[in-house]
Structure 1
Amino acid sequence: MHIVIMGCGRVGSTLARSLEKRGHSVAVIDVQPDAFRRLGPDFGGRTVKGVGFDREVLIESGIAEAEGFAAVSSGDNSNILSARVVRETFGVHNVVARIYDPGRAEVYERLGIPTVATVRWTSDQVLRRLLPAGSEPQWRDPSGSVRLLEVHVNRGWVGRTIDQIEAASAVRVPFVFRLGAGIVPKRSTVFQDGDLLYVAVADARLAEVEAILGAAPKGE
């Protein structure tokens, strides 16, 4: 599919190259032509000088046939304005905007524009490494009611199956991180020593689930 990216900094250029490697067509917009050097000599997509909220620039980038738009420039206002123009004028609903101000990010999430709040993301990553109990989410839905959590699991669960863990805690285990790689477990998959367990849990049950999995299974 065709993806348009506004901003050719480190994030935008990396995103563009990654998408192209996956077989997608890509157009990159930036106000500074020199920024396109970050794409490298092998980049085969379009490069367009301008801003992502300019109608003519967007048309030149192929927005009419685009199935996705990412606004990842260094300016919050430009990113949000571009995302709104693309969605409201050109009808592209698969949009995401990078926002530095976490307060603004929450507002635009409620308006239906997915955002990546850089400061909030960084602080969450640090907290996840400081708090061994895993109380900071890997992902939270925009309403704040469901989260994907890397959860601390008591060693007593080693040798139990994912089915047993799910039944005991009433959660879903979408994946396990094992020996440097993520795996999608079967119900019969056995939890091993050193595994990192990721669970999908309702926010209201967070403390309960952490208490269940943080303790040894009942009967031991």
Structure 2
Amino acid sequence: MNVVVVGCGRMGAELAYRLYQNKSQVTVVDQSGEAFLNLPHDFRGRMLEGDMLSSDMLSRAGLDGAQALAAVTSADTINAVIGHVARTVYHIPNVVVRNFDPRYRPMHEAFGLQIVSSSSWGAQRMEEMLAPGALRTVFSAGNGEIEVYEMLVQQAWDGRALRDLVPGGQCMIVSLTRAGRATQPAVDTPLRMGDILHLSATQTGIEAVRQRLAAQGEK
């Protein structure tokens, strides 16, 4: 895939490197050459320094042959303009823009752009993680026959094996996240307070989990 990333701050550099590692052809554009120092030393994509709103720069970046573009600068107006031009002038099929300041989100929405709002999403995610209650639904399939639940491991389960909490059959372990890193754990994995579990379960399966939590004084 041929991808153009406009903006090489921390977010842009991380995105460009991930795309490069996944074998995409990546071109990174930034108005400051020093921004490219954010990229890992083994990044081998193209790096272009110059005015990101210049039609000449956009042409040099290869927008006319790109399959995707990400506008991830810290300026919402620049992201909106570049995203709009990429869609309407260059007809790039997959355009995603960063919303830096939540107050400018309506502007991106007015352009009909796909948005990633790191501030809004981050605040929402932290609110969810701080909310009381051990179990919460994060995804529902079909008519709710199968749902994915998120659970924050409390002190009562610290050191106990995962099998003690999750019954087999109608409840499956999707992932365990510890210190920000997700894995697919074995049933004998010891839990740690603060772990985040994602479970896929039927109503019967999740009720069995709730019963085990209730036995430890949790809900």
TM-score of the alignment, normalized to the shorter chain, above 0.5: yes
* Native 8 Å contact 1:98 1:117 kept in 2: yes
2: CA distance between counterparts of 1:198 and 1:106?
32
Contact 2:76–2:100 under 8 Å retained in 1: yes
Aligned to 1:182: 183
Supply the AA of the counterpart residue of 1:177.
L
Instruction: Give the 3 Å change call, closer, same or farther, for CA 70–148 of structure 1 in structure 2.
Output: farther
Q: 1:164 aligns with which of 165, 170, 180?
A: 170
Secondary structure, counterpart of 2:15 in structure 1: helix
Q: Taking structure 1 as reference, are residues 59 and 136 closer, same or farther at Cα in structure 2, changes over 3 Å only?
A: farther
- Kept after mapping to 1: 8 A contact 2:68/2:94: yes
Q: Name the TM-score, length of structure 1 as normaliser.
A: 0.66
Query: Which residue number in structure 1 is paired with residue 88 of structure 2?
Result: 88
* Distance in 2 separating the partners of 1:74 and 1:136: 33
d(CA) in 2 for partners of 1:181, 1:25? 27
Identity in percent: 27
Name structure 1 gaps, 5 residues minimum: 140-146, 167-172, 201-207
Contact 2:31-2:49 within 8 A present in 1 as well? yes
Corresponding residue number in structure 2 for 1:118: 118
Task: Using the TM superposition, give the Cα deviation of residue 216 of structure 1 relative to its aligned residue in structure 2, in angstroms.
Answer: 1.6
Aligned length: 192
* 2:183 aligned partner, one-letter code: G
Q: Give the superposition deviation at 1:177.
A: 2.0
Shift of 1:59: 1.5
Structure 2 gap segments, 5+ residues each:
140-146, 158-162
Greater C-alpha Rg: 2
**Aligned equivalents of 2:148 and 2:115: distance in 1?**
17
Describe how 1:82-161 pairs up with structure 2 within 5 A.
82-105=82-105, 108-109=108-109, 112-133=112-133, 150-151=150-151, 158-161=165-168
Distance of 1:59 and 1:165 partners within structure 2: 52
Q: Report the equivalent of 2:30.
A: 30
Change beyond 3 A, Cα 1:164–1:35: same
What value does the CA root-mean-square deviation take over the aligned residues?
4.0
State the TM-score, normalizing by the size of structure 2. 0.66
C-alpha separation in 2, matches of 1:117 and 1:151: 24
